[in-house]
Amino acid sequence: MSAPERSDGAFWDVLRATTQSRIGLGRTGDALPTRRVLEFSAAHAAARDAVHQPLDVDDVATRVRELGIGDPIAVTSRAADRGEYLRRPDLGRVPADLSDVPTVPDADVAIVLADGLSPKALTDHGAALARAILDALPPDVTVARPVIATQARVALGDHVARALGVRTLLVLIGERPGLSVADSLGIYLTHRADPEDFAVGVTDAHRNCISNIHPPEGLGYADAARIAAGLVVGARRLGRSGVDLKDTSRAELGEGTERPALG
C-alpha cells in the first residue's frame, strides 16, 4: 500500500521520529531547503572533527583510573600522527612499543580503550562503558590493568593481549563517524586458546563485534555490557570466539522478558 499523500508533512514527521536517517527532506524548487543543506554541512563537519580530533589521553586516563582495576597503561601505534594513521591503516595495527605493558598471567580479560576512527566516541563513552562491562562480568573473571591506545586499529589489541598474557580481549574503539552519528563506540571481543595465539593468524572471523553504542540514541551501556559479558562467558566455555560464537543473551532473557539493569 502506498503512503498517503500529506501536504502538511505530518507523514514524514512521524517517520523521522523513528530514525536518524535523512528522509522526507522536502524541496525548494529543484534543490533542498536551505535548512536541510545547513544541517547536512553541520553533520559533515562534526564527522570530520570526530575523526581528526586527537584523544586527550590524560582526561580518559583519569576517568579510567576510577574504575579500580589499576593505573591505565598508554600505548600508541606506529602511525606517527593522525594523518599517517588515516593514510596507513597497517601502521595502526602494530604497536610502537609495549615495554611498559606487564605480563599478568593470572588475569582472564584485557580491556583496551582505543581511539580508532572517532576519538570523540572514546572520550564520550569509553570509561562509562568499561564500568558497565566490569559490573556485568561474572565475579570470578579477573581483569588486567586497562590499556589506552592511540592511533589504534582493532588489531593493535592483539599485541597488547599477548603482552599481558590474557586469553580474552575486549577492544572498546571509536567507530567510523557517519552523517547521523559521530560518537559511536564498538566492542570487539577476541578469545584465543593461548595468549601466544594472538601473535599470528587472527582475522575478523575470530572476532565478535557489538556496535552502535552511543546512548541515548544508540545501544546503551548496560545492554552492550550484558552482551559483552555473555560473549566472554561463551568464548571461555567454547574455547574460541568469532563466527562460531553467538550472542544468546536475548534468548536467555526469554521473549518479552524485561532486560535487567546492569551497573
Is 175 annotated for ligand binding?
Answer: yes
Q: Is the pLDDT of residue 174 over 90?
A: yes
Question: What CA–CA distance (Å, rounded) separates 215 from 237?
Answer: 30
Q: How high is the pLDDT of residue 14? A: 81
- On the question of pLDDT at 84 being above 90, the answer is yes
According to DSSP H, which parts of 94-153 are helical?
Answer: 119-136
The answer, yes or no, to whether residue 1 has pLDDT greater than 50, is no
**Using 50, 70 and 90 to split pLDDT, how confident is the model at 24?**
confident
Which has the minimum average pLDDT: 44-58, 201-215, 244-258? Answer: 244-258
**Which residue, among 165, 144, 146, 143, has the nearest Cα to 229 in the 3D structure?**
143
Closest by CA to 230, choosing from 251, 205, 257, is 251
d(CA 43, CA 56): 22
- How high is the pLDDT of residue 8? 53
C-alpha cell at 21: 536517517
SS3 at position 257: coil
Mean pLDDT, rounded, for 80-95: 95
Question: How is residue 69 written as a grid cell?
Answer: 582495576
The stretch 249-255 carries a mean pLDDT of 56
* 124-172 per-position pLDDT tens digit: 999 999 999 999 999 999 999 999 999 999 999 999 999 999 999 999 9
User: Strand, helix or coil at 28?
Assistant: strand
Domains of the chain: 57-245 (3.40.50.11240)
Give tens-digit pLDDT for 30-82.
Answer: 888 888 888 878 878 888 878 888 999 999 999 999 999 999 999 999 999 99
Give me the pLDDT at residue 135, please. Answer: 97
* Annotated binding-site residue? 60: no
- Is the bond preceding 216 in cis, omega lying within 30 degrees of 0? yes
